[in-house]
Structure 1
Amino acid sequence: MIRNLAKKNKEDYEWLDVLAPTPEELHEIAQKYDLHEESVNDCLQPGHLPKYERFRGYTFIIVRVYFPIKDQEADTVQELTNKVAIFISDKYIITIHRNEWAPLVAISEEYVNSGECKKPTHVLTEIVKAGLHSFEAPGNKITQHIEFYEEQVFLKDRNVSFLKGLYFIKRKIDVIKRLLILTHEIVDKIDNKDTSDAYTRECRDMYIKQQSLYDSLLEQATQLMNIYFNISSQRTNETMRVLTIFSVFFMPLTFIVGVYGMNFKFMPELEHKWGYPGVMILMAVVILVVYVWFKRKKWM
């Protein structure tokens, strides 16, 4: 579907928005606006990462916006984000995407139709800002999830679903962090010493905000996983310590029982009247000695 979000007879530029284009539509647009074959091929790749590239007569930009297909266990670029390819020059801006993204229409109605966006570069700035803003809500949601998992780590028992959920959160943060790093070049090109204004500075501020948020989230998630494994290791060590204490108590008793369980004819105390009670008393004394020894060593 092709729609005009800014008509040239009304503005000094044209904004063509293309939703889920067919190869024929793309070929027609490429011919009409003299788009390079390489940028058109990049536009067709669903998993392409953010980029900023200049061609003769126009600039080609790819931004990725948060648009999860299945949010709970999504952990790849394609599952978490939607790609928006942008061709921009002084006379036009073309946005191409496969899934509907409401902010584009909102930008057209709020900024273009009101006459606030007087140049394609301003439209581009608003699109990049909207893309960065799309990561704010998931960042807040991930923060809530991390707080929940922190409570599970410190106050409740471990379980498999907890570790799985924490893994997907960390993967999600990693993917978004990588996309933000690649988006840095786009923000730098938009907001430089020649083009900087209030709108581009706001775009950079939003980028810095999102980058700081996900830096913090990644650090928290990594620390939480390390704490989880440390606590798991501590619980395992505690269990092993208890089992070791029990084994130390029973080792001398097993030795005594083993000695008196040997089938030799001539053995001391076998015919003695107090032989059995004596062995039981000996076992009790051994247990008491081991207990006192452990207490003095502060192992119990």
Structure 2
Amino acid sequence: MRIYNLLRSTEEKAVTARRKAGAPPGTMIYTGHREMERVHVHLTQYHGDFLEVQTEEESIPAPRTQQATQWYDLRGLHKLELVERLGREHGMHPLALEDIVDVHQRPKMEVYENGVLFIIKAFAFDAATRDLSMEQISIYLTENTVLSFQEDAGDLFRSVRKRLETSSGRIRSRGPDYLAYALVDNIVDKYFTVIDQIESELDRLEDVIMKSPEMSTKSQIHDLRLALLTLRKSISPLRELMNRFSDSESRLISQDTQVYVADLRDHVIQITDLVETYRDVTNGLYDLYVSEISFRMNSVMQTLTIVSTIFIPLSFLVGVYGMNWEYMPELRTRYGYFVLWGAMILIIVGMLAWFRSRRWI
């Protein structure tokens, strides 16, 4: 099933490429498959002690004041006219709008004349099914506005909203560039949660392999390997993104914010190292699974071999005295039957003692 999803994603990218063939640059084509009945646009305005939140369906809230920092959060990308209208109102470059609705973009940072675009992947891991879901998040920074675009209706930035509502930390006293950093930081922090869940699954699988590995264990290891591969493909470009973010000379990003971005870059490096480490652990678990299965198979074969070896001389004796020759003096011996049983028991005991002395059993 995971391989099928991977192939389907590759096919979707190929179809998207065919649909875009010949289209002029800046053509908006939604390449995802998550469509909602109602697209919501949330507007949060804040400045010092002032905070106001507005929510509209299928429309864009009008700001009450131009003095505050404005954060538009649009959830649902399939309504292209709404995405385009929001982008045009804030002077977004057509290429930025094209990248936002193309959900197969790699994480990156693009600097335009009047704005900065961040594209990053958000992940959620279901430990029960070992399914790693991915959502593309786009963040556009302008002079006094931040625009975020999410595919799903769920709120990935709940913790950032809570900080704004409670006026905790420095977010209310900073500009829109710090808000953009806070949104990216919020997504990166969730990577640690996903990696911790994968680590717990790896520990569980290690215990299963050591106790009683099953045929399903192999597929579970394979699922985790695919999840880590997907994480690696999406997290590796973040290093370049963070380098550009922390070293950016854009007038929209202040030096004070770049100090925090440098710390975020260290987190990305740590996450990248963790993903590589757990990929090695996953490969080690697969080798351990194969070794454990081989060991158990060898144990079974050893037991069967010992049983077969014991019965070889017994089968020989039974075969000799079961030939029904007319002149076999042992057949007429009064206690021959009991002597034969005694001989076979002695052979069994002697062979078991010898096997034990050689530490074969």
TM-score (normalised: structure 2): 0.66
Give the aligned residue type for 1:5.
T
Contact 2:109/2:116 (CA < 8 Å) preserved in 1? yes
Q: What's the CA shift for 1:233?
A: 2.4
Encode CA deviations 1:255-281: one digit per residue, 9 max, x unaligned: 222233335555563444454344334
For these two proteins, the number of residue pairs brought into alignment is 292
Q: What's the CA shift for 1:31?
A: 3.9
Q: Structure 1 residue 95 and structure 2 residue 141: aligned? A: no
What does residue 86 of structure 1 align with?
139
What does residue 132 of structure 1 align with?
188
Q: Secondary structure at the match of 2:330?
A: coil
Q: What's the CA shift for 1:91?
A: 5.8
Supply the distance in 2 between the matched residues of 1:259 and 1:54 (Cα, whole angstroms): 93
Matches within 5 A, 1:238-249: 238-249=299-310
Q: Structure 1 residue 226 and structure 2 residue 282: aligned? A: no
Give the aligned residue type for 1:243.
L
Q: What's the CA shift for 1:47?
A: 4.9
Give the aligned residue type for 2:44.
L
Instruction: State which drifts further: 42-51 or 252-261.
Output: 42-51
Supply the distance in 1 between the matched residues of 2:171 and 2:265 (Cα, whole angstroms): 25
Give the aligned residue type for 2:128.
Q
Q: Structure 1 residue 236 and structure 2 residue 282: aligned? A: no
Distance verdict in 2 for CA 1:282–1:3, change over 3 Å: closer
Contact 1:187/1:203 (CA < 8 Å) preserved in 2? yes
Contact 2:43/2:70 (CA < 8 Å) preserved in 1? yes
Q: What's the CA shift for 1:182?
A: 2.5
Alignment partner for residue 4 of structure 1, among 28, 34, 43? 43
Alignment partner for residue 245 of structure 2, among 183, 190, 196? 190
Q: Secondary structure at the match of 1:246?
A: helix
Q: Secondary structure at the match of 2:323?
A: coil
Q: Structure 1 residue 123 and structure 2 residue 184: aligned? A: no
What does residue 227 of structure 2 align with?
172
Supply the distance in 2 between the matched residues of 1:259 and 1:291 (Cα, whole angstroms): 23
What does residue 48 of structure 2 align with?
none
Distance verdict in 2 for CA 1:35–1:10, change over 3 Å: closer
TM-score (normalised: structure 1): 0.78
Supply the distance in 2 between the matched residues of 1:72 and 1:50 (Cα, whole angstroms): 28
- Between the aligned residues of both structures, percent identity stands at 19
Give the aligned residue type for 1:95.
S
Q: What's the CA shift for 1:249?
A: 0.3
Encode CA deviations 1:97-143: one digit per residue, 9 max, x unaligned: 12222245346555797231x253x3322222111111223333444
Q: What's the CA shift for 1:217?
A: 3.5
What does residue 203 of structure 1 align with?
264
Q: Structure 1 residue 181 and structure 2 residue 236: aligned? A: yes
Q: Structure 1 residue 280 and structure 2 residue 341: aligned? A: yes
Q: Structure 1 residue 294 and structure 2 residue 355: aligned? A: yes
Contact 1:125/1:190 (CA < 8 Å) preserved in 2? no
Supply the distance in 1 between the matched residues of 2:288 and 2:234 (Cα, whole angstroms): 27
Q: Which runs of 5+ in 1 are unaligned?
A: none
